[in-house]
Amino acid sequence: MKVTFECYNCKVSQVENPAEAKEKTEVINGQSIDLKYYECPVCRALNYVQCDNAGSKNQLAKYLSVAKIQINANRQGRRGKQSGKAKKIQIHLRRIRSELQKELEHNGLHFVDYKVVGDDYVGM
Protein backbone atom coordinates (compact mmCIF):
# COMPACT_ATOMS: atom_id res chain seq x y z
CA MET A 1 0.00 0.00 0.00
CA LYS A 2 1.26 3.48 -0.90
CA VAL A 3 0.10 7.06 -0.49
CA THR A 4 0.39 9.35 -3.50
CA PHE A 5 0.10 13.14 -3.44
CA GLU A 6 1.53 16.28 -5.01
CA CYS A 7 3.58 18.63 -2.83
CA TYR A 8 1.67 21.90 -2.41
CA ASN A 9 4.90 23.91 -2.64
CA CYS A 10 7.05 22.42 -5.43
CA LYS A 11 4.27 20.42 -7.20
CA VAL A 12 6.45 17.28 -7.36
CA SER A 13 4.43 14.06 -7.16
CA GLN A 14 5.27 11.90 -4.16
CA VAL A 15 4.73 8.22 -3.40
CA GLU A 16 5.12 7.34 0.26
CA ASN A 17 4.62 4.42 2.60
CA PRO A 18 1.80 5.23 5.05
CA ALA A 19 4.04 4.10 7.92
CA GLU A 20 6.43 6.95 7.07
CA ALA A 21 3.88 9.64 7.87
CA LYS A 22 5.04 11.85 10.71
CA GLU A 23 2.82 12.98 13.54
CA LYS A 24 2.89 15.94 15.86
CA THR A 25 0.54 17.64 18.31
CA GLU A 26 0.10 21.39 18.36
CA VAL A 27 -2.14 23.75 20.28
CA ILE A 28 -3.96 25.94 17.77
CA ASN A 29 -6.69 28.38 18.82
CA GLY A 30 -6.72 26.76 22.25
CA GLN A 31 -7.32 23.26 20.87
CA SER A 32 -4.92 20.34 20.99
CA ILE A 33 -4.63 19.14 17.39
CA ASP A 34 -2.95 15.93 16.21
CA LEU A 35 -1.48 16.41 12.74
CA LYS A 36 -0.29 13.72 10.33
CA TYR A 37 1.97 14.86 7.50
CA TYR A 38 4.66 13.99 4.99
CA GLU A 39 7.75 16.10 4.49
CA CYS A 40 8.60 16.69 0.84
CA PRO A 41 12.08 15.25 0.12
CA VAL A 42 12.63 17.91 -2.56
CA CYS A 43 11.69 21.19 -0.86
CA ARG A 44 11.10 20.06 2.77
CA ALA A 45 7.57 21.52 2.84
CA LEU A 46 5.15 19.89 5.27
CA ASN A 47 2.20 18.35 3.42
CA TYR A 48 -0.57 17.68 5.94
CA VAL A 49 -2.91 14.78 5.22
CA GLN A 50 -4.96 14.40 8.42
CA CYS A 51 -5.95 16.35 11.51
CA ASP A 52 -7.75 15.30 14.67
CA ASN A 53 -9.09 17.13 17.69
CA ALA A 54 -10.97 15.79 20.73
CA GLY A 55 -14.24 15.54 18.77
CA SER A 56 -12.81 13.57 15.86
CA LYS A 57 -10.85 11.28 18.20
CA ASN A 58 -14.09 10.54 20.05
CA GLN A 59 -15.87 9.70 16.76
CA LEU A 60 -12.94 7.53 15.67
CA ALA A 61 -13.11 5.56 18.95
CA LYS A 62 -16.86 5.03 18.41
CA TYR A 63 -16.26 3.90 14.83
CA LEU A 64 -13.58 1.41 15.84
CA SER A 65 -15.80 0.01 18.59
CA VAL A 66 -18.73 -0.51 16.21
CA ALA A 67 -16.44 -1.95 13.52
CA LYS A 68 -15.03 -4.46 16.02
CA ILE A 69 -18.55 -5.62 16.90
CA GLN A 70 -19.33 -5.97 13.18
CA ILE A 71 -16.17 -7.98 12.51
CA ASN A 72 -16.89 -10.34 15.40
CA ALA A 73 -20.47 -10.87 14.18
CA ASN A 74 -19.20 -11.64 10.68
CA ARG A 75 -16.70 -14.17 12.04
CA GLN A 76 -19.48 -15.95 13.90
CA GLY A 77 -21.59 -16.13 10.74
CA ARG A 78 -24.17 -13.65 12.00
CA ARG A 79 -25.33 -10.71 10.05
CA GLY A 80 -24.27 -7.71 12.09
CA LYS A 81 -26.60 -4.78 12.61
CA GLN A 82 -23.77 -2.33 13.06
CA SER A 83 -22.89 -1.49 9.45
CA GLY A 84 -25.48 1.32 9.19
CA LYS A 85 -24.36 2.75 12.50
CA ALA A 86 -20.71 2.55 11.46
CA LYS A 87 -21.47 4.35 8.20
CA LYS A 88 -23.20 7.22 10.05
CA ILE A 89 -20.28 7.56 12.46
CA GLN A 90 -17.82 7.49 9.56
CA ILE A 91 -19.70 10.28 7.75
CA HIS A 92 -19.76 12.37 10.93
CA LEU A 93 -16.01 11.78 11.45
CA ARG A 94 -15.25 12.92 7.90
CA ARG A 95 -17.35 16.06 8.43
CA ILE A 96 -15.56 16.93 11.69
CA ARG A 97 -12.15 16.45 10.08
CA SER A 98 -13.15 18.47 7.02
CA GLU A 99 -14.35 21.41 9.13
CA LEU A 100 -11.19 21.25 11.27
CA GLN A 101 -9.03 21.15 8.15
CA LYS A 102 -10.70 24.29 6.77
CA GLU A 103 -10.12 26.06 10.08
CA LEU A 104 -6.45 25.03 10.11
CA GLU A 105 -5.93 26.12 6.51
CA HIS A 106 -6.93 29.64 7.60
CA ASN A 107 -4.03 29.40 10.10
CA GLY A 108 -1.51 28.69 7.32
CA LEU A 109 -1.35 24.89 7.30
CA HIS A 110 -1.34 23.26 3.86
CA PHE A 111 -3.38 20.09 3.42
CA VAL A 112 -2.98 18.01 0.28
CA ASP A 113 -5.34 15.64 -1.46
CA TYR A 114 -3.95 12.15 -1.48
CA LYS A 115 -4.81 8.68 -2.73
CA VAL A 116 -4.10 5.36 -1.09
CA VAL A 117 -3.32 2.64 -3.59
CA GLY A 118 -2.72 -1.04 -3.02
CA ASP A 119 -4.51 -4.35 -2.49
CA ASP A 120 -4.64 -4.27 1.29
CA TYR A 121 -6.27 -0.86 1.71
CA VAL A 122 -9.47 -0.66 3.74
CA GLY A 123 -10.76 2.90 3.44
CA MET A 124 -11.83 5.16 6.29
Q: Find the largest Cα–Cα distance for the chain.
A: 52
Residue 48 located in a structural domain: yes
CB atoms under 10 Å from CB of 3, counted, come to 21
Q: What is the average per-residue pLDDT within 45-70?
A: 93
Reported as a single tens digit per residue, the pLDDT across 10-57 is 999 988 888 889 999 999 989 999 999 999 999 999 999 999 999 999
Report the first-to-last Cα separation within the chain, whole angstroms: 14
β-strand partners of 21: none
β-strand partners of 22: 37
Give the torsion through C-alpha atoms of 88, 92, 98, 101, to 10 deg. -140
Count of domains in the chain? Answer: 1
- Pairing state of beta strands 114-117 and 2-6? antiparallel
pLDDT value of residue 73: 78
The reported pTM is: 0.80
Residue 123 located in a structural domain: no
**Mean of the per-residue pLDDT values for the chain?**
88
Q: Residue 97's domain spans which residues?
A: 2-117
Q: How many percent of the chain have pLDDT more than 90?
A: 64
Region of poorest pLDDT, from 5-14, 78-87, 103-112: 78-87
